[in-house]
Structure formats: structure tokens, C-alpha cells
Amino acid sequence: MRGRLIRLGSAYEQALNIHSYPDVVARLLGETMALATALASTVKYDGLFNLQAQGDGPLSMLVADIDSEGGLRGYARFDEAYFNSNDRSDRSIPQLIGTGHLAFTVDQGPGTDRYQGITPLEGATLSECAQAYFKISEQLDTAIILAADPGGREPRAGALLVQRMPGARGKTRLEMEPDEDWRSAVILMSSLTPAELLDTEIPSDDILYRLYHENGVRVFDRRPVAFRCRCSREKVANTLVLYPPESLDDMKTDDGVIVASCEFCRQEYIFDDDQLTNLAAE
Ligand SMILES: [Zn+2]
């Protein structure tokens, strides 16, 4: 079995500072960022790992991506009117995101194969949706606990993932009965409360030791994660040149410029007519 313990502090806080999210959206964004970090760390890649949940509900998109250097970012797209209209206690994925899908992509740049996994959103929570993906698409027993607390002085998000590796015992595929070791790993895991997962006073090693010392736990080097946006004027320009001139005209403000705003970090990129002409010429 392998596992990942993810605990996000400032990376999550910075994502929250950029936008003004309703509490329930902020929570799910934290879970999304923690889940993306956990899943990305189980994949060998040199590029970008992206996790997206999209649907027809009032929270239409949750996205987080993380590069191989630990640069993490995320944002949520939501219907403000819905969340403002009354005190929403809906927490479930079907109520918030609605009918939709969860997708993972690994992009290693031009000239490489793009890996994508996609699954319908099936589950009340984000962790249930991700677990369903691994069970159905990857045939891997996977247990995931996600937690996020956007309030308080220090917003925190966390994830604990345990996965049964295929072939580790010759016959660990899903068609076989889950073995006792796996069951006990999941039961031990579920003894961890969300509050403990987010508690900065409890060192990560202590959590892992408490849960798994009887079976033996080997802890690998921790890897830092930091909020980092990868947007640039050049990337925006590369997108703009794909549009026909009429569409570009439609995008212009009353001042006759195009203002492109990064959804992750809110950085604005402004292009006037001269710059657009130059782009087209280049
Ligand atoms: Zn940005």
C-alpha cells in the first residue's frame, strides 16, 4: 500500500485571498486543491497535473492544477446570486455541482501524450467521487479523506490518501475480495478526524505513526507546495491570435481594448489595437 498526507496552509490561503468565496465554495476549493496535490504526487510527470470538477449546478467548476515543481493554484466558478439568495446549507456534490464530471489531466508539454481520466460525478462528497473514479476506471482500491477550513486565522486544507497497489501481493485486483490488510488500513484511516488532519499542532509524522505504526509505516521526504500562477501575457496573446478579428472586436471594452483577466490570480492583461495588429502580424 502507498499513501499520501497533504496539508496545505499558505497555498490555500493565497487562493482564497484572490477571490471572495462563499464558505461552502471555499471549503470545496480547499478539498480540490488538497486532492489535486495528493493525486499529482502519485503520478510521475514533468509538466502540469490538472484536476477539474464541472457540472450544471450553482458551483459549476472547481479546478486545481499543480506543476512538477510544486506550484499549485486553484479557483472555483459559482453563481453568486444562488449563494447570496439565502443561507445555503447544501453541501453535497449533487446539490452544488449537479450533474457533471471529474477529470484529471497530465500535460507534459508539446510532443508528449496527454493523459486524461474522466468520470461522472458520482458521490455525495468530492472524496467519494474520486474514490469512484479509481475503483471504476483504474481498478485501484483507494480511500481518501479530504478536509478544509477556510475560516479562522489560518485557512487549512488537507488530504489523506491510501491506495492498494496492484500486483503487490499477486492478486490484489478488484475482482478479488478486499483483503484484511486493506480493510484494516481503511478502518485505521477513518479514525483520523478532519480537525486532526487540519491541526497544525499535530505533526504529520505523528499522524502517520499513530495510524499505521502497528503495520509499519515508512515516511518519505516531504515536498513543499506553494501557490504559484503560471499565467503570462504571452500565453494570453497565444490564445487571442486564435480568434477571428470579428470576435476580437466583440471582446473589446468601450475604450477599445481587450482586457483578459486570469481566473486563477486575477492578473489583468490589456491589449490595444496596435498590440493586436502586431500579434496578428507575428
Ligand atoms: Zn494568473
- For the chain, the structural domain boundaries read 2-227, 233-281
Question: Which residues have C-beta under 5 Å from ligand 1, the single-atom ion?
Answer: 229, 231, 262, 264-265, 267
Count helices and strands in the chain by DSSP H and E runs = 11, 11
Q: Which CATH superfamily is domain 2-227 in?
A: Hsp33 domain (3.55.30.10)
Same fold, 2-227 and 233-281: no
pLDDT at res. 152: 74
Q: What cell does 4 get?
A: 499520501
The amino acid that residue 261 corresponds to is: S
pTM: 0.91
Residue type (1 letter), 63: V
CA of 271 to the centre of ligand 1 (A): 16
How remote is the CA of residue 263 from the centroid of ligand 1, in Å?
Answer: 7
Q: Alpha-carbon distance 184 to 190, whole Å? A: 10
At 172 the pLDDT is 46
Report whether CATH 3.90.1280.10 matches the domain 233-281.
Answer: yes
Residue 267: alpha-carbon gap to chain centroid: 21
Question: What pLDDT does 86 receive?
Answer: 65
The CA 95 to ligand 1 mean position distance, Å, reads 29
- Per-10-residue mean pLDDT, the chain, length 282: 95 95 95 97 92 96 96 97 77 92 91 87 94 85 95 92 76 58 91 95 95 89 95 92 89 93 95 88 82
pLDDT of residue 75: 97
Pick the closest to residue 133 from 60, 62, 188, 53 (CA basis). 53
Å from CA of 221 to ligand 1 middle: 29
The CA-based dihedral angle spanning residues 40, 44, 47, 48, taken in that order and rounded to the nearest 10 degrees: -20
